[in-house]
Amino acid sequence: METRKIIQVEDKVPVNLLIPLSIQHMFAMFGATVLVPFIFGINPAIVLFMNGVGTLIFIAITKGKAPAYLGSSFAFLAPAGIVISQMGYEYALGGFVVVGFCGCVIALIIYKFGSDWIDVVLPPAAMGPVVALIGLELSGSAAGNAGLLDETINPKNVIVFLVTLGVAIFGNILFRGFLSVIPILIAVIAGYIAALCCKMVDFSAVASAPLFALPNFQFPKFNMNAILIILPVILVIISEHIGHQVVTSKIVGKDLLKDPGLHRSLLGDNFSTMLSGLIGSVPTTTYGENIGVMAVTKVYSVRVIAGAAVLSIICSFVGKLSMLIQTVPGPVIGGISFLLYGMIGASGIRILVDSQVDFGRSRNLTLTSVVFVTGLSGISVKFGNVELTGMVLACIVAMILSLIFYILDKFQLTNDREDA
């Protein structure tokens, strides 16, 4: 590996390379995925367990053709928080199960009628900015994790952040051979060492944690009011899923919406969410952080993703190990996220370039402009307890506009039709 080569989705990876690549993926998702159980007030061990199991289920359902890691979904935070405060976590679990089941039903409908409609409601001029927004709207989260948005910025946070980001950036263009495929892992290690030097790491929780412990399994309870509060989230997670699959398709160079098919990936995603609710975990979703890792390293092997899933399951049973990983400081996660989220944003721009979108056509310029402004303006629309904002709202606006343009074309009312 004198120069970096692409490791494709179906490629086998030797064990000596598989282990560090899998660890790299696990670190990329860890900071965000454990935040959701912390907010819900549950032990993250059950979430690590289900993320690993859910990812393996997703890989099986998609026949090993769609590299994706399933982590904790943030889309459920607001409605689930309401249910938890009013009824308890068990009733939120019931809502997760129903949303996952409905998502599986939608996947079966797509299997029956196909996914060609996506080309109509999300043409490249709309899909490009939607995908870019997946990364761009998370940029504030990366800065927040790094402590760069605090009212008073701690110099230690800045040092650790810059070390992590610097190693990730320059490692990505300078490392050769084996090191060239694990720049993210090396950056995490460098940032962690910097944090140790700055005395930012506390090992007391690791010392007190048990060596082995079972995840805290619990079972759902069902209430119609709780279900109705959480159910509208399905619109959010489907939009998010389509965006993630499109950007992953561009990165790996294969149309994953066609093969293995949107119906399979959507089924795997939602079946995992349904199972999560049945055993006491939080809903899952394909993770942008891991998409970013693939974009940086050019390693797309689904076996590496599976390896990360197995490691996550192991961590859920080894108390000291999972607690040790949780000692990774926010500036390290923020430094890595800065690069990974930016890669996703750049992938959206790449869709516009690769598709040779003609901005001389009024519709393309209008679509891209409106989608970007909608996603970045901070506008939000509420339906009951569900808030649509950012990429999700932009995606919905893009779909509505594109569908209207399509209908107007059919009646030959537009002035920029290709056949006009």
The answer to whether residue 330 scores a pLDDT higher than 80 is yes
Residue-level pLDDT at 217: 93
> In the structure, what pLDDT confidence band is assigned to residue 205 with cuts at 50, 70 and 90?
confident
Average pLDDT over residues 236-251: 86
The larger pLDDT score, comparing residue 168 to residue 418, is at: 168
> In the structure, what pLDDT confidence band is assigned to residue 4 with cuts at 50, 70 and 90?
low
The answer to whether residue 418 scores a pLDDT higher than 70 is no
Average pLDDT over residues 273-296: 92
Residue-level pLDDT at 63: 96
Nearest to 190 by CA among 10, 366, 384, 328: 328
Residue-level pLDDT at 380: 85
pLDDT in tens, 50-75: 999 999 999 999 999 999 999 998 88
The answer to whether residue 1 scores a pLDDT higher than 50 is no
The answer to whether residue 137 scores a pLDDT higher than 50 is yes
> In the structure, what pLDDT confidence band is assigned to residue 2 with cuts at 50, 70 and 90?
very low
pLDDT in tens, 357-401: 999 888 999 999 999 999 899 888 887 766 778 887 888 899 899
Residue 303 in tokens:
């076996």
What is the overall mean pLDDT for the chain?
88
Contact of 367 with 398, CB cutoff 8 Å: yes
Instruction: Calculate what percentage of the chain has a pLDDT beyond 70.
Output: 97
The answer to whether residue 232 scores a pLDDT higher than 80 is no
The larger pLDDT score, comparing residue 408 to residue 348, is at: 408
The answer to whether residue 420 scores a pLDDT higher than 70 is no
Distance, CA of 155 to CA of 330 (rounded, Å): 13
Nearby residues of 403 by Cβ (< 8 Å), 6 or more positions away: 120, 121
Angle between helices 89-113 and 77-86 (to 10 degrees): 140
Nearby residues of 299 by Cβ (< 8 Å), 6 or more positions away: 6, 7, 13, 21, 181, 293
Distance, CA of 373 to CA of 365 (rounded, Å): 12
Residue-level pLDDT at 88: 94
Nearest to 159 by CA among 196, 186, 184: 196
